[in-house]
Structure 1
Amino acid sequence: MTSKDARTADELLNAVGPAFSKLRRTALLEVENPVSAKDLSRTLVLNIVLEHSDDSEVTVGMVAEILGVDPSVASRMVSDNIKAGYLLRAASQQDGRRTVLKLSPEGVALMERFRKHQRDAYDYITAEWEPGEAVEFARLMLKYVDSLAGLKDRKRVEDA
């Protein structure tokens, strides 16, 4: 048993936040077909468009809100994706005066490559784990992320 295994529940829970920060910084593992640092940043915006296009029209304002950045920062990020050929601007079907964002075929291809890269990195990182641990961690991580969706509703109830 290592000293990391012997940490108390409180120590483990306090270490979660810094661990999440470290995940983003170490995502550029040298796995097959790595994604460039520039394209890794671009995937932040592309992922939002990909995740929300089915249930809503994605705008620069929505990107800013989801990323928690100033609209001008989101606008620059979106423009960079458009210049790189990953995003397209289109007229809203709900309000012709509004512009919405769509993935281009190149953007779809980048996201497919990025998803493969993420899986390859996960498999590489967890290669020496005990059998079943990688699947259990994935299940718990997805449960954690799914719980994020309910935070706004919980806050509204608490504030009422």
Structure 2
Amino acid sequence: MKSPEQPVPADDDSLLDNVGPALSRLRRQVGSGRGDLTRNIVLNVVGDAAGRITVGGVAEKMGVAQPVASRAIAACIAEGLLRRVASQQDGRSSRLELTDEGESARRAYAGEQRLAFEEITAHWDSADRLQFARFLTRYSQDASAWTTRGKPEG
């Protein structure tokens, strides 16, 4: 069943109020399935950290409780996508890193996402499509920096 399209709000305040729900819909609609989406998020978090992240760090980046991240990580390890490595700084702790298969899966999912983006925006003007891609990438980078600085409570 096709869901009804959300109209684009006419006024600026309503448009800005709809950013959060729109991002949430994007997250739900563009993935192949819940497991695939969670796996992709884990792989991207670990890949972006370049071997300098723990299970707790993944949980923090994902915004979930540690047991939730731990289950997702365990599934990725079982699939051969991640491995645990001993921390060189603290032998009691382990870091996570992508395996070759994990990096391949990460690239494949990025390719699927690009294809989805291209199909969804196929009727857009090329300049609009590229500008949106620039803004979306910039938004993602700024959101990461904002999270790293510590988002305000509230």
Normalised-by-shorter TM-score class: 0.7 to 0.9
| 1:150 matched to 2:146 | yes
| Superposition pairs of residues 25-104 of structure 1, within 5 angstroms | 25-28=28-31, 37-53=34-50, 57-104=52-99
TM-score with structure 2 setting the length: 0.85
Q: Determine if contact 2:59/2:69 at 8 Å carries over to the other structure.
A: yes
Between the aligned partners of 2:9 and 2:95, the Cα distance in structure 1 is 51
1:32 aligned partner: none
Aligned length: 146
Aligned Cα root-mean-square deviation (Å): 2.1
Between the aligned partners of 2:148 and 2:98, the Cα distance in structure 1 is 27
**Deviation at 1:131?**
2.7
Structure 1 residues 115 and 152: alpha-carbon distance in aligned structure 2, compared to 1, 3 A threshold: closer
2:3 aligned partner: none
Between the aligned partners of 1:67 and 1:154, the Cα distance in structure 2 is 14
Which one has more relative contact order, counting CA pairs under 8 Å at least 6 apart? 1
1:23 aligned partner: 26
**Deviation at 1:67?**
1.1
Between the aligned partners of 2:67 and 2:125, the Cα distance in structure 1 is 46
Larger radius of gyration: 1
Task: Specify every segment of 5 or more residues in structure 1 that has no aligned partner in the other structure, as ranges.
Answer: 29-34
| Superposition pairs of residues 100-119 of structure 1, within 5 angstroms | 100-119=95-114
Letter in 2 for 1:153: R
Between the aligned partners of 2:109 and 2:96, the Cα distance in structure 1 is 19
TM-score with structure 1 setting the length: 0.82
**Deviation at 1:22?**
0.6
Between the aligned partners of 1:72 and 1:23, the Cα distance in structure 2 is 25
Between the aligned partners of 1:41 and 1:82, the Cα distance in structure 2 is 14
1:102-138 C-alpha deviation (Å, 9 max, x unpaired): 1111111101101111111111111000230111111
Between the aligned partners of 2:56 and 2:132, the Cα distance in structure 1 is 33
| 1:131 matched to 2:123 | no
